Homo-oligomer: A and B are copies of this chain.
Amino acid sequence: MSNKKVFEQSNLQNLTVNTDSFECSITTDIAVFGYVDHRLKILLTKRSVGEFTDHWMLPGGVMEGNETLKDCASKVLVALTGVENIHFEQVKVYSAIDRHPIKRVITVSFYAMIRPENHPLFLKGNVEQIAWFDMDEIPKNLGFDHSQIIHDAYMFLKNNLKDRLVMGELLPKKFTLTELQGLYEDILGLQLDKRNFRKRIFQMDILKNTGEVKAGIKGGPILYEYRVDKKA
């Protein structure tokens, strides 16, 4: 351990950082993205209690002592949609002191991607309304700092799209390359070249040809599925 300065204990004043715990609320807010009708959507809720009762906001909930943040996010999502085993990705922590109008609440945002048709929505507890909103039709006056959270999560999603493949299940289990390309185009908000897109996807080597073709569509497009033996 060369080249290292070590200072032994001396009697200086106490560290201003203390090691006591303090009372706080930790929540997770989840940006659940869906893909319907060639549009990227996000799931928002309206609550009957709490702050911002007349505002749309992200589904979110308080973390409890016996769960991790991912557990918490999963719990919230299950409670809202019934869906389980969904891939979550941590996005960011929000800790502005006044982000909650009456108490101190720190929130960790996650994002998840589901197919709305697979997950019927159930209103539970203090949730008055649930709705899928088009990404370009999100109300301006969301509760808390959720506009910012959505913005950050969307940027995160777009960035991840660049190199990795979309995780989660925005598409059916078996899908055509055209469907996958449409998803990319709708998320990124631009048009892609069919041949170049296919090259890129095949290079990633994450799709498996199911041997089936999708019926009802001219041309007889091949159905693919994600390879499970591939990581990332």
Contacts and interface: CB of A to CB of B under 8 A. Distances in A.
A25 interface: yes
Interface stretch (A12-20, A166-174, A176-184, A199-207): A12-20
Contacts of A79: 15-17
A95 B73 CA distance: 12
A61 interface: yes
A125 interface: yes
Give the interface size class of chain A.
35 or more
A79 B12 CA distance: 11
A97 B66 contact: yes
B125 A61 contact: no
Contacts of A50: 19
Interface in A1-33: 1-10, 12-26
A132 interface: yes
5 contacts: A3-B36, A3-B39, A13-B125, A19-B61, A23-B23
Complex A-B, nearest 10 residue pairs according to Cβ-Cβ distance, in ascending order: A15-B125, A17-B61, A21-B25, A69-B95, A15-B124, A68-B95, A9-B128, A14-B125, A6-B131, A7-B123
